[in-house]
Copies of this chain bind each other. A is one copy, B any other.
Amino acid sequence: MKISEVSRRTGVTATTMKYYLREGLVHSGERVGSNQTAYDETHVRRVKLVRALIETGGLSIADTKQVLATLDADDMSLAHTFEAAQHALGVGGASSGTGRPESRDRIAALSTEHGWRTTAENPGFDVAARALDAFSTIGFAPSDEFLDAYASAAATIARADLAALTTRDRPELVAELMVVGTVLGDALIAGLRRLAQENETAELFPVHTTIHNEKDAK
C-alpha cells in the first residue's frame, strides 16, 4: 500500500501523514526501493487512532505521542497500562499545575467515602481538584450532595468502562481501547450531559421554553 492509499482511506493528506511519521506518531513503513515505501493496515489503523485522539479527544500532537508511547510498550498489565495512559493524558486539555491542597483533600475525602482505592499519583486528583478550585475561584462552593452525585456518576461510568474492556474479544486491542476509551469517553459523557441538562431544565421549568413552537419559529 502506498502512502496515497493510506491518505485516501484515512482522510489525512500524504504530506500530513509524512509529518506524523516524522513526529513518530506512526511507525514507518517498509522501504522497498529508493522511492517507494510500503504501508499496511496497521498504518491505516494507527492514523485513524491518531485522528480520533486529536479531533475528538482534543489532544495535542505531543500529548498524542505520549499516549501512543504507552500503548506501544504493551508488555504491561491492565492496571499498569491504565496508570501509564492516565499519566500521559493527565495534562491533556487543561493546563498543568496542582490543585490547592484544600481541594485535593476534599477530593480524597470524596474518594474515601465512595470506598475507592486509589493512589495519590492518580492524575484524576489534580484534574478534579483544579476543577474544584475553579469553582471556588468564581464564588461557587460545590455542596457535598453535588460532589456526591458526580462521584456516583463517575463510578457508574468506570464500571461500564471496565466491563467493556474485559469483554473485549481481541486481547491485543485492550490497551488501545483503554487509552482511546479514556479520551473518547470524556467526550461522550460531555455530550450526554448536555442532553440530560436540557431535559432537566425542561422538567423544572416546563412552561415558557418548550411550549412555544421551535420548529416553525425559523
List residues of A whose CB falls within 8 A of some B CB: 45, 48-49, 51-52, 55-58, 77-80, 82-83, 86, 92-95, 107, 110-111, 114-119, 121-135, 137-140, 142-143, 145-146, 149-164, 166-167, 173, 176-177, 180-182, 184-205, 207-210, 214
CA distance A82 to B196 in the complex (A): 12
The 9 closest A-B pairs by CB, nearest first: A124-B194, A128-B191, A127-B191, A158-B196, A149-B160, A79-B209, A154-B192, A153-B153, A116-B199
Which of B115, B128, B140, B202 lies in contact with A117, CB distance below 8 A? B202
Which of B55, B111, B166, B197 lies in contact with A95, CB distance below 8 A? B55
Question: Given the known A-B contacts A95-B55, A138-B49, are A158 and B79 also in contact in the complex, defined by CB atoms under 8 Å?
Answer: no
A107 to chain B, nearest CB (A): 7
Which of B107, B111, B160, B162 lies in contact with A201, CB distance below 8 A? B162
Q: Which residues of B contact A130 (CB under 8 A)?
A: 55-56, 187, 191
Which of B110, B150, B166, B180 lies in contact with A189, CB distance below 8 A? B150
A30 to chain B, nearest CB (A): 23
Q: Which residues of B contact A203 (CB under 8 A)?
A: 117
Q: Which residue of B lies closest to A155 (CB)?
A: B196
CA distance A46 to B124 in the complex (A): 27
A26 to chain B, nearest CB (A): 14
Judge whether B52 and A134 touch: CB under 8 Å.
yes
Q: Which residue of B lies closest to A142 (CB)?
A: B164
CA distance A156 to B192 in the complex (A): 11
Question: Given the known A-B contacts A160-B145, A190-B186, are A116 and B58 also in contact in the complex, defined by CB atoms under 8 Å?
Answer: no
Judge whether A208 and B79 touch: CB under 8 Å.
yes
Give the interface centre of A137, A139, A158, A163 by most chain B CB atoms within 10 Å.
Answer: A158
Q: Which residue of B lies closest to A111 (CB)?
A: B195
Give the interface centre of A56, A78, A110, A180 by most chain B CB atoms within 10 Å.
Answer: A56
A208 to chain B, nearest CB (A): 5
Which of B51, B160, B191 lies in contact with A146, CB distance below 8 A? B160
Please name 20 further chain A to chain B contacts, defined as beta carbons within 8 Å, in addition to the given A134-B187, A159-B196, sorted by A numbering: A56-B94, A57-B134, A79-B201, A79-B207, A86-B197, A92-B190, A93-B190, A117-B203, A117-B214, A122-B198, A124-B191, A139-B173, A140-B177, A142-B164, A145-B163, A146-B164, A153-B157, A158-B193, A158-B197, A189-B193
